[in-house]
């Protein structure tokens, strides 16, 4: 009995007892594949952000570290050890944190997200709103970032609407990071810099 409890403890604290990390990373791979993302239409990756976040949330609940799952997923698309891979993995993990903060983790919300639909904000000042997908660097300014996973962030709908296509210090800083990582062209960076208010 003691041995069983010890094994259970080790399983829960070290690696999780459910799906292996590689399984969750494999689920993410087609959702973040840049070749597939490039074929999507306007806002085509928005549903993928919902699915990605649900997969990473499930991994977290299953005892895995979402950061390690995201890192493995970017390795699977050939971006392991690159700055664009790091930015992509960080964005995926940030969305899990946002989802948790706004409380969109009910079974109903997660089921919706697994199907590419929006969850609801369940706590805080935006409770009852839907959780939308925001383009950190607005697509109206840098359309080439429309379906770039690193540029997509969960946010309550009214906050997203209020932000609209504004370019501030955060957007400039992120655009520079995207440019340095090869995710944003020279022309795209120039447009972002020119649009700063």
**If you search the block for the tokens 């459910």, which residue do you land on?**
18
Identify the pLDDT of residue 146: 97
Write down the pLDDT at residue 164. Answer: 87
Nearest to 28 by CA among 65, 71, 62: 71
**10 found inside a domain:** no
Q: pLDDT tens digit string along 60-70? A: 999 999 999 99
Query: Is 80 domain-assigned?
Result: yes
Flag whether 56 is in a domain: yes
Asked if residue 13 is part of any domain, the answer here is no
Is 109 a domain residue? yes
Rounded to 10 degrees, the C-alpha dihedral 138/141/142/148 comes to 10
Q: Hey, what are 13's tokens?
A: 């604290």
The total of structural domains in the chain comes to 1
> Per-residue pLDDT for the chain (197 aa), expressed as one digit of tens each?
554 444 444 444 444 455 566 799 999 999 999 999 999 999 999 999 999 999 999 999 999 999 999 999 999 999 999 999 999 999 999 999 999 999 999 999 999 999 999 999 999 999 999 999 999 999 999 999 999 999 999 999 999 999 988 999 999 999 999 999 999 999 999 999 999 87
Domain that holds residue 166: 19-195
Which segments of 40-168 does DSSP mark as H helices, in order? Answer: 46-61, 66-76, 83-102, 107-114, 157-163
Whole-model pTM?
A: 0.88
Is there a domain that residue 132 lies in? yes
The 10 Å CB-count burial string (b at 16+, else e) for 149-187 is bbbbbbbbbeebeeeeeebeeebbebbebbbebebbeee
What pLDDT shows up at residue 19? Answer: 54
Is residue 152 in a domain? Answer: yes
In a domain, 6, yes or no: no
Spatial separation of the C-alpha atoms in residues 13 and 15, rounded to whole Å: 6
Q: Give strand pairing partners of 155.
A: 132
């Amino acid at each position: 009995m003691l041995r069983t409890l010890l094994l259970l403890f080790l399983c829960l604290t070290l690696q999780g007892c459910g799906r292996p990390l590689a399984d969750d990373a494999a689920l993410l791979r087609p959702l973040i594949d840049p070749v597939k993302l490039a074929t999507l239409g306007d806002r085509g990756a928005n549903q993928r952000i919902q699915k990605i976040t649900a997969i990473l949330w499930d991994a977290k609940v299953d005892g895995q570290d979402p950061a390690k799952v995201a890192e493995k997923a970017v390795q699977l698309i050939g971006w392991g050890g690159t700055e664009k891979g790091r930015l992509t993995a960080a964005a995926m993990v940030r969305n899990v944190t946002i989802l948790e903060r706004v409380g969109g983790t009910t079974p109903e919300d997660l089921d919706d997200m697994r199907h590419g639909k929006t969850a609801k904000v369940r706590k805080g000042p935006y409770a009852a709103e839907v959780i939308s997908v925001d383009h950190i660097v607005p697509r109206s300014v840098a359309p080439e970032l429309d379906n770039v996973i690193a540029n997509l962030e969960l946010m309550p709908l009214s906050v997203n609407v209020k932000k609209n296509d504004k370019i501030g210090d955060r957007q400039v800083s992120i655009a520079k990071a995207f440019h340095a990582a090869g995710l944003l062209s020279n022309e795209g960076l120039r447009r972002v810099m020119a649009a700063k208010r």
